[in-house]
Amino acid sequence: MTDESVFDEMLGHGETIRDPYAQFDQWFADEDPKRLRAKQREAEELFRLTGITFNVYGRTEAEERLIPFDIIPRIISGAEWARLSRGIEQRVRAINAFLHDIYHEQEIVKAGRIPREMIARNSAFEPTMIGLRPPGNIYTHIVGIDLVRTGPDQFYVLEDNARTPSGVSYMLENRETMLQMFPELFSKNRVQPVQRYPADLLRSLKASAPAGLARKPTVAVLTPGIYNSAYFEHSFLADEMGVELVEGHDLRVVDGHVAMRTTEGYKPIDVLYRRVDDAFLDPLNFNPDSQLGTPGIMDVYRAGRLTIANAPGTGIADDKAIYSYMPEIVEFYTGERPLLENVPTWRCADRDSLAYVLDNLEDLVVKEVHGSGGYGMLIGPTATKRDIAAFRKKLEARPRNYIAQPTLSLSTVPIFSRTGLAPRHVDLRPFVLVSPEGIKITPGGLTRVAMKKGSLVVNSSQGGGTKDTWVLEA
């Protein structure tokens, strides 16, 4: 049975199978539950053997965990995806235009569409990027747009990830696992492929290389190291692209170029896919105590001899207070109404909004403006009185650090439980590649699922899992 007040992507608002799930439902009805339980265990073992883990912080030491994987695919029709893709592309174009503008003319501020202090006082705004034009004029080479669904045609953008979006390795491994375990399902359903993402990523990065190179561009992936929560992904993507995985100490500036250490000496790098935060990229230009970056890398970047993907300073587009202005941002730079809606948002820096939020904490979701991973947030309807009282003090002390949103009735999709199919809440992170050649959106993305009944928290760091996302051919 399903809660008819919640939209279920397999059953709608009742017990009738929706069209995208029709073939899957017929297959599932004929399957032996014992075989499926064995396949679920097999999938978990595959993930363990592959080493698909992540680190959970907030304890004395980081704890390494296996991310839960559910074998029931999330299925989206070709028509649904076509509508989503148009909205995603529009939003990504607007984000890139916004980033160029705030580091140059700031026309959106002059037009009064965004308050000046939202930029000037934002800790994610990077003054060293002012007046700097990155190669190809691309700031956000890899973008993740987090979406939630509340009805058949109702999708909302929950947040934008324009800095260093993660999770694409899970998307790829989820698909590989499903292909290996259930090949017959893919013969019954025309599922759009995702396996070309690493090749598409490499092509996109090479296309974003500095102009005027006399050789084929050299790409490398910069990682903070093995203790980073997403190290598996850094290593995975470097392997899949066939490029070097480097740390800051592997790089140095040689003859005005960034070069990496190899067995044959130092070799120039043209494109650096960095998974290191801005503050740690270059101890000469940012945090002088950083052991993760390379001295002088920003000087090479300013000289136009290196592409850094994503560009420094893109984190301001991740800011959840800036998110609340995204409808204005999209309209300002595209001249169009947003095709994808924002979740209604209260900016707690505003006195009236703060008063409303404090009066309604038990009904709202409150987030840190620079928070991620499900950390530092309050989900009012499931919070204890003690949690709400503690969060109230945080809000009163530093209201500028928070935004609040209504608790949406997120859609559910089935997971394979001990008693059969059971609905669980999900979100979706499609991945977008941007280069001077254009925008490419991988069909589907990463579906994160709340494994606990009734939970709205899908982040892996908070106990959520993942599942394969199918986009059917039109």
pLDDT in tens, 297-332: 999 999 999 999 999 999 999 998 899 999 999 999
45 found inside a domain: no
- Contact between 233 and 167 under an 8 Å Cβ cutoff? The reply is yes
Whether 342 has a pLDDT exceeding 70, the answer reads yes
For the segment 355-397, what is each residue's pLDDT rounded down to a tens digit? 999 999 999 999 988 766 556 789 888 899 999 999 999 999 9
List the alpha helices (DSSP H) in 51-77.
none
So what's the pLDDT on residue 49? Answer: 81
Mean per-residue pLDDT over the chain, rounded = 92
Tokens 């947040």 belong to residue: 159
pLDDT band, residue 229 (cuts 50/70/90): confident
Closest by CA position to 407, among listed 179, 181, 148: 148
Q: Is residue 361 situated within a structural domain?
A: yes
* Domain that residue 361 falls in: 344-407
- Conformation bin of residue 152: beta by default, left when phi > 0, alpha when psi is -120 to 50: alpha
d(CA 426, CA 465): 9
In a domain, 391, yes or no: yes
Query: What is the share, in percent, of the chain residues with pLDDT greater than 70?
Result: 95
pLDDT of 59 above 50: no
| CATH number of the domain where residue 386 is located | 3.30.1490.270
Residue 171: Cβ within 10 Å count: 22
7, part of any domain: no
**Total structural domains in the chain?**
1
Q: Which residue has the tokens 């308050």?
A: 115
Residue 46 lies in a domain: no
DSSP state, residue 193: P
Contacts of 62 (CB under 8 A, 6+ apart): 55, 56, 227, 229
Residue 365 lies in a domain: yes
Domain membership flag for residue 122: no
Q: How far from the centroid of its chain's Cα atoms is residue 340's Cα?
A: 16
- pLDDT at 461 exceeding the cut of 70: no
In the predicted structure, residue 54 carries a pLDDT above the cut 70 = no
Asked whether residue 321 is domain-assigned, the answer is no
Residue entry with tokens 């491994």: 173
